[in-house]
Amino acid sequence: MFNTRFSELYLNNYFRMLKIAKVYISEHEEAENIVHDVFVSIWEHRDHVLNMDNVEGYMAVSLKNKCLDYLKHLLHVAEYADHVSEALRDDLTNKINSLNYYDAAAYYDNEVINNAVRDAIEGLPPRCRQVFLYSRRDHLKNAEIAERMGISENTVEAQMTIAFRKLRIALSPFLPQTSKKQQKATNSDVKESRKRPIFHEKSVKKEVLPIFV
């Protein structure tokens, strides 16, 4: 079980973590070593770490701390090296200060969500995806979309409804969950529920669309 979970974490997060590390660690090989160290640490403590609710957040914080340790070591060496320029010392200090204020877990969560949104949009049927992108990316009105694609406005609305429904399902792990009380209230009025669409477009706009508008 742990082998599979660890492999998934590595494959899904390695290059994203390397990209973040290289923002602060200019040497590619050193950035790779730091990312590898994070995964080595996870594996060594897998019984605990892989059972966490937010392993990705733990990974992000671990990466931040290892980058900080590396930069602080470089700065310590630079302070006692005659051949190191003041500009390099200032650059190291600025990177350390930037990392200290960097909310690693929050930023990483946003990266995960944004990637999930992009994948969900790519997973839409071709015409549905194009209608959705014209509406939310290019901010075209339904009439403009209909004219550009040679379809009716009713078809545009239907495709948007399909897009919202599919995106809501695909992105459900990142959306507020319905409480048991709300679910009970919904179940008590089945007839009324059948008259309404599966979800309201307004609620989806508030929860999902700000991510990719």
Tell me the mean pLDDT per 10 residues along the chain, length 213.
81 88 89 93 86 80 88 82 72 80 64 76 92 92 94 94 88 54 42 39 39 37
The whole-number pLDDT of residue 119 equals: 84
The whole-number pLDDT of residue 109 equals: 62
Taking CA atoms, 52 is separated from 60, 65, 72, 110, in Å, by 13, 19, 29, 19
The whole-number pLDDT of residue 37 equals: 92
The whole-number pLDDT of residue 8 equals: 87
The whole-number pLDDT of residue 143 equals: 94
How many CB atoms are closer than 10 A to CB 143? 10
Taking CA atoms, 155 is separated from 12, 135, 166, 197, in Å, by 37, 13, 16, 16
